Amino acid sequence: MGMVSLGVKRTTFKKMIEVLRSKPKESKYKIHGAIRGPKEKLSTENQLLMMLMYYREYRPFLHTGASFGVSEAQCWRVVRNLEERLIKSADFHSPGSKPSRQIWIWKWWWSM
């Protein structure tokens, strides 16, 4: 499966991989030197491919996960985690939008 079928240019894919491989801020509760949990089953590239495949084809998580040999729940966790990490990066977030009119009306109504 190539990058073209997922609708992402190779340069964009490589930039996404760089962002995902950058070390996230460590928790103050992490025990230094300890590795918790099992080793990841999918590489960073395969996780990103799975996320892009889910968005491109919009298949259920069960089918997308089965293509990569992981469960439906694990597929959902991977997609959710990658979404959050890419959105938090400065390169792959959308600029903020104005609040919708319905929210504004609701706040106005309850402030009376």
Q: Please write the tens of the pLDDT for every residue from 100-112.
A: 444 444 444 444 3
Q: Domain boundaries in the chain?
A: 1-23+40-95
- Entry pTM: 0.71
Q: Which of 11-15, 25-29, 107-111 has the lowest mean pLDDT?
A: 107-111
- The model's confidence at residue 32, banded by pLDDT at 50, 70 and 90, is low
From residue 63, alpha-carbon distances to 11, 55, 103, 112 in Å are: 28, 13, 36, 50
Give the C-alpha separation, 27 to 64, whole Å: 31
Give the C-alpha separation, 71 to 62, whole Å: 7
Give the C-alpha separation, 70 to 41, whole Å: 8
